[in-house]
Amino acid sequence: MRLIEDYKAIRDFYKHQPDQAPFPTTMEELANILFCSQRNAKFILTKLAESGLVSFSPGRGRGNKSHLTFLKSVDDAVFAEAVALFKTGQITEGLELAARYGTPALKNKLLQWLTHFFGYEKQEVKDIIRLPMFRTFNSMIPSQAFFDFDVHLIRQVYDTIVAYDFSSEKAAGKLAHHWECNEDQTEWTFYLKKGILFHNGTELTSKDIHDTFSLLTRPDFKQLWLVENIRSIECLDPYAVRFHLYKQNALFLPFLSFPALSIIPLGSTGYIGSGPFMVHTYNANYCVLEANPHYYEGRPFIDRFEILNVPKEYEVELLEDKSSIFVNTGEGQYFGNSGHERIKGSYEGSTLFTFNLRKKTGPLQNIHFRQALNKLIDRKKLIADLGPPRMAPSFSFEMHHSLLATSPNVEDKEIGFLMQTSDYHGEPVQLFTYDRHQPDAEWIKTEAAQYGILIEVTILGWDEILKEEYIDQADCILFEAVWGEKELSKLELYKSGFSFLRQHLSQSTTDFIDRKIEAILSTSTEKDRSLIFSDMQARLISQQAVVFLVHKSIESTFDPSIRGVKLNAHGQVDFKNIWIKPDLT
């Protein structure tokens, strides 16, 4: 970027000099243009020449001027540098470079280049799919990931001991091919498949299971609820491992399928799993996954996925022409073009915001104020004003419960009475959220202002909002709870150290929740467990601990040549089964 800046400074000073035409200059003059010493000016000219931007012939002898030749326009120089940045996943940096040093025409040229960059490409015998993503990546470490797309990527790279189908309530083999337990289900023995290789070439054995769980039982593990019932782990032989539990857990097999419990080889560096894809590159803005040729369940069809974070303001320009696969979950406003295939659906869960009931003082401690804030939100109006993917008013975590409910009218008289009894005196309410939910937060702010409630919206980065200092500071946090793992997702919301809800509940409600979860884990049937979950939700509603907002739809658009696209329970597309139908014409 500094080289481009220097080139533009020289080019602007000699703006009347055409490309490819030598003209006289002096080193003293160039040093003055660059605000540096003549020695540094010589160094900069050398770099510019090495980059193919100029040629320079120094004057020989006293009084003979040097000659400089511009080989490229500033736009051409910026274009080449921006493309180089794009190819390493630095989309934002490339566009910022163009905005700072290039002309408006350059921006359009770069967006056109990016449009063709995304999508499907065949390189020799490799199939590559590039996907745009309008957000950063936060963690590729299974035990540290929380946000849904990060967990989705982890599922592509790592594997768990078993898989679990929450629709049929049946476990299937993954790393283990068979398991058995004692009568009271406190001892579980798993028999591992032989020949499973980690991405670093080492074979997975029972010791890797033992070592992974040894790391996960540390007190700082945010998902400690998954492993706190494990008393010990015993390696019986290289392919057999036994778990000893303190007490029965009716959901132990589903627990072992949770991505946070993915198995890793101890002592490895980087992101090493045993899953269908290997991590080639990973940072906050760029993720490259390559097919694992030795995957024990069969090699993926696509050789390489490149996922790039792009600025949201360019979504239409980048996606309208050629986006091979795009899943719209509310990150932006793009919904695909007419030439693409579409899959539509919905997933269980709801957007909502919490009330921080751990704070000792403030208007939120008054239940009448919380009720007023809940009642002034007209969910149908929110959907009409903000549009898709908002689909239905929410009054519960489960959509089928919300659909049975009657949307109440917003009654000014009732809200006025609640406000009068709430002892609210105009104190600002701090509503924290992240970029994805900013439109909803701003909408709520506007609606609340009509009743004299001052809401201050703070937008945080994906990693920032998980920090305890912000969770403690917030009066409310707006987020989305997704029931991808059904019962496990519910337990995660109530128990996880990542959970905004748990960290905002009053201590008495937290104690109530923990007692209910104890009952859930000792209950053998899903039907009976669902009744206990209903009791927990009823407690949240009666205490007005949360405000449910809307349920969302999910949609994927993709090029017709791409096959195997299917939305999973999380509203994401699993990469392993995607393949490209060749154009045989």
pLDDT for 348 equals 79
Cα end-to-end distance, the chain, whole Å: 45
pLDDT (tens digit per residue) in 451-498: 999 999 999 988 899 999 999 999 999 999 988 788 999 999 999 999
Whole-number Å distance between alpha carbons of 488 and 353: 20
Mean predicted confidence (pLDDT) in 52-78: 80
pLDDT for 334 equals 47
Mean predicted confidence (pLDDT) in 158-164: 96
Tokens, residue 54: 């100029």
Whole-number Å distance between alpha carbons of 78 and 62: 36
Which has more confidence, 249 or 85? Answer: 249
Share of residues in the chain with pLDDT > 70 (%): 89
DSSP string, 310-350: --GGGHHHHHSS--SEEEESSSSS----TTSEEEEEE-SEE
548: Cβ–Cβ under 8 A, 6 or more apart, which residues?
A: 350, 351, 352, 394, 395, 396, 397, 402
Select 160-261's CATH number: 3.30.379.10, 3.40.50.1100, 3.90.76.10, 3.40.47.10: 3.90.76.10
Which of 193-197, 312-316, 406-410 shows the highest mean pLDDT?
193-197
Query: In the chain, where are the structural domains located?
Result: 2-72, 118-158+275-340+559-585, 160-261, 349-552
Using the predicted structure, report yes or no on whether residue 582 has a pLDDT greater than 50. yes
Comparing C-alpha atoms, which of 435, 456, 447 is closest to residue 363? 456
Q: For the packed helices 38-50 and 27-34, what is the interaxial angle rounded to 10 degrees?
A: 90
Q: SS3 sequence, 233-295?
A: EEEEECCEEEEEECCCCCCHHHHHCCHHHCCCCCCCCCCCCCCCEEEEEECCCEEEEEECCCC
pLDDT for 128 equals 85
pLDDT for 323 equals 47
Question: Which CATH fold topology does 2-72 show?
Answer: Arc Repressor Mutant, subunit A (1.10.10)
What is the 3-state composition of the chain as percent helix, strand, coil, each rounded to the nearest 5? Answer: 40, 25, 40
- Amino acid sitting at position 487: E
pLDDT (tens digit per residue) in 257-294: 999 999 999 877 889 999 999 999 999 888 999 999 99
pLDDT band at 564 (very low <50, low <70, confident <90, very high): confident
Tokens, residue 375: 């009642």
Mean predicted confidence (pLDDT) in 71-95: 83
Q: What is the pTM of this model?
A: 0.78
Tokens, residue 335: 């919904």
Q: What is the CA radius of gyration of the chain?
A: 29
| Biggest distance spanned by C-alpha atoms of the chain | 100
Please tell me the CATH superfamily of domain 118-158+275-340+559-585, with its number: Periplasmic binding protein-like II (3.40.190.10)
pLDDT for 226 equals 96
pLDDT for 126 equals 77
185: Cβ–Cβ under 8 A, 6 or more apart, which residues?
A: 245, 248, 249, 250, 252
Whole-number Å distance between alpha carbons of 266 and 252: 23
In this structure, of 186-190, 355-359, 580-584, the range with the lowest mean pLDDT score is: 580-584
Cis status of the peptide bond prior to 389, with omega within 30 of 0: yes
350, 402 Cβ separation under 8 angstroms = yes
Alpha-helix residue ranges (DSSP H) falling in 338-486: 367-375, 379-386, 399-404, 412-421, 438-449, 468-473
- Sign for the pseudo-dihedral over CA of 357, 362, 368, 371: negative
Comparing C-alpha atoms, which of 446, 383, 374, 370 is closest to residue 411? 374
Mean predicted confidence (pLDDT) in 195-220: 93
pLDDT band at 557 (very low <50, low <70, confident <90, very high): low
- Amino acid sitting at position 585: T
The single-letter DSSP state of residue 426 is S
Question: Which CATH fold topology does 349-552 show?
Answer: Dipeptide-binding Protein; domain 3 (3.10.105)
Mean of pLDDT over the chain? 87
The single-letter DSSP state of residue 197 is B
pLDDT band at 152 (very low <50, low <70, confident <90, very high): very high
578, 325 Cβ separation under 8 angstroms = yes
Share of residues in the chain with pLDDT > 90 (%): 54
pLDDT (tens digit per residue) in 284-340: 888 999 999 999 999 999 999 988 887 777 666 665 554 455 555 555 554 455 556
Q: SS3 sequence, 72-122?
A: CCHHHHHHHHHHHHHCCCCHHHHHHHHHHHCCHHHHHHHHHHHHHHCEEEE
Whole-number Å distance between alpha carbons of 369 and 235: 56
CA angle 500, 352, 503 (to 5 degrees): 15
pLDDT for 117 equals 73
- Amino acid sitting at position 28: E
Tokens, residue 287: 């993720």
pLDDT band at 85 (very low <50, low <70, confident <90, very high): confident
Which of 56-65, 234-243, 397-406, 417-426 shows the highest mean pLDDT?
234-243
Whole-number Å distance between alpha carbons of 292 and 271: 13
